[in-house]
Amino acid sequence: MTTNLVHNAVVHNQPEGGAVWVTTTARPGAAELVVENTGAALPPDLVATLAEPFQRGTERTRSDHAGAGLGLAIVDRIVRAHDGTLSLAARPEGGLRVTVALPAPSR
Ligand SMILES: Nc1ncnc2c1ncn2[C@@H]1O[C@H](COP(=O)(O)OP(=O)(O)O)[C@@H](O)[C@H]1O
Ligand SMILES: [Mg+2]
């Protein structure tokens, strides 16, 4: 799941001078992973569809990446299998912010 999100953050970034931020947070009862990257501006209605199978963005920033559009759909299934939530948000400056929230294991 994490590899997939970080890979996306790299290959769907701007061609040069892009940045990726990975943050983890743990607090009682919950753990959170945030993967955020620079890139082209993404319309919110497009972002809402990106986790659907075979759904790819319209603009390719890196021609050497020929994905099938399944990565985020698989990530979504993994998150759901662990009773978590996946949130995608367009960054106002361009690029994407992906948040995975997972319940912490009960003791
Ligand atoms: N971190 C990201 N930044 C910008 N766009 C992204 C990011 N992750 C995914 N996307 C967009 O969502 C689409 C679907 O992602 P994904 O399911 O992983 O498919 P793939 O990477 O194979 O194209 C991508 O084609 C891209 O347009
Ligand atoms: Mg992908």
pTM: 0.91
Quote the mean pLDDT of the chain.
Answer: 90
Residue 65 has pLDDT above 80, yes or no: no
Q: Which residues contact residue 68 at a Cβ distance below 8 angstroms, ignoring those fewer than 6 apart?
A: 54
Sign of the four-CA dihedral 91, 76, 99, 13: negative
CB atoms within 10 A of CB 2: 13
Can you give the CATH number for the domain in which 66 is found? 3.30.565.10
CB atoms within 10 A of CB 5: 22
Split into its structural domains, the chain has a count of 1
DSSP structural state of residue 100: E
The model's pLDDT over 9-60, given as tens digits with 9 standing for 90+, comes to 999 999 999 999 999 999 899 999 999 999 999 999 999 999 988 888 765 5
Which atom from ligand 1 is nearest to the alpha carbon of 69? 19
CB of residue 96 inside a 6 A radius of ligand 1: yes
Residue 61 has pLDDT above 50, yes or no: no
pLDDT of res. 57: 74
User: The domain containing residue 79 runs over which residues?
Assistant: 2-103
CB of residue 5 inside a 6 A radius of ligand 1: no
Q: Helices 71-81 and 2-11: crossing angle, nearest 10°?
A: 150
Q: How far is the CA of 106 from the centre of ligand 2 (A)?
A: 32
